[in-house]
């Protein structure tokens, strides 16, 4: 894949590494359809409609999610799968509140939906905070599916999403490039 539009700068973080983008596209191709299906929830799609909408079809919705994930991972970790605790967050003090991985999710986010708990239990074998942190760093497929499902549940877990800080960095041409990489609908 020849990344171009998806290599655009994100805030003061630089550009996503090709290796990160390659994993993101591979996940986007195989991720369950239900993650991208329309719903009536106030979720990531309703939150960023002004920046990237309107939605055209399932492939477009997948590409939009990949673009959100690209930009959010830049904000949260500079695309570092092994990013650890956010030392600027005074609430990051327990295994359940300490952030981990490229999207800086914490175990307490499982409270946003049973499918989040089920996903972690199925892939990690435990909902323990320490095990959750390790898994979000080690299991990239799990981390991608987890953050996508979380973003469909709430926009309040990630400050840059909640406060619309990612919006100016979301790019329609990057969505179009992701659509090409995802293949025909």
What confidence tens digit (pLDDT) does each residue in 32-44 have?
Answer: 999 999 998 899 9
Task: Indicate if the alpha-carbon torsion angle 123, 129, 134, 137 is positive or negative.
Answer: positive
- Residues 141-165: pLDDT tens digits? 999 999 999 999 999 999 999 999 9
pLDDT at 91: 82
pLDDT at 41: 86
C-alpha count within 13 angstroms, C-beta hemisphere, residue 24: 35
Q: Is the pLDDT at 128 greater than 90, yes or no?
A: yes
pLDDT at 85: 82
pLDDT at 184: 58
* Calpha distance 147→155 (Å, rounded): 11
Tracing tokens 């986007």 back to the chain, one arrives at 28
135: confidence class by pLDDT, cuts 50, 70, 90 = very high
Q: What is the pTM of this model?
A: 0.96
pLDDT at 32: 97
Higher pLDDT: 41 or 120? It is 120
Q: Is the pLDDT at 185 greater than 70, yes or no?
A: no
Higher pLDDT: 92 or 168? It is 168
pLDDT at 89: 80
- Residues 49-108: pLDDT tens digits? 999 999 999 999 999 999 999 999 999 999 999 998 877 887 877 889 889 999 999 999
- CA-to-CA separations, 144 to 31, 90, 161, 169, in angstroms, rounded: 9, 26, 16, 20
* Distance from chain centroid for Cα 115: 16
């Amino acid at each position: 894949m020849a990344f171009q539009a998806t290599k655009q700068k994100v805030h003061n973080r630089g550009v996503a590494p090709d290796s990160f983008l390659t994993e993101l596209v591979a996940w986007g191709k195989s991720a369950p359809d239900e993650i991208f299906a329309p719903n009536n929830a106030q979720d990531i799609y309703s939150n960023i409609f002004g920046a990237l909408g309107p939605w055209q079809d399932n492939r477009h919705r997948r590409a939009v999610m990949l673009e959100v994930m690209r930009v959010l991972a830049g904000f949260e970790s500079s695309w570092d799968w092994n990013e650890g605790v956010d030392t600027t967050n005074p609430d990051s003090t327990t295994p359940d509140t300490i952030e981990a991985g490229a999207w800086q999710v914490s175990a307490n986010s499982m409270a946003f939906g049973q499918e989040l708990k089920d996903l972690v239990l199925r892939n990690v074998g435990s909902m323990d905070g320490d095990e959750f942190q390790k898994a979000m760093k080690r299991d990239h497929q799990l981390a991608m599916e987890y953050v996508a499902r979380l973003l469909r549940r709430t926009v309040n877990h990630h400050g840059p999403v909640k406060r619309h800080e990612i919006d100016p960095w979301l790019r329609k041409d990057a969505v179009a490039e992701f659509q090409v990489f995802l293949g025909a609908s």
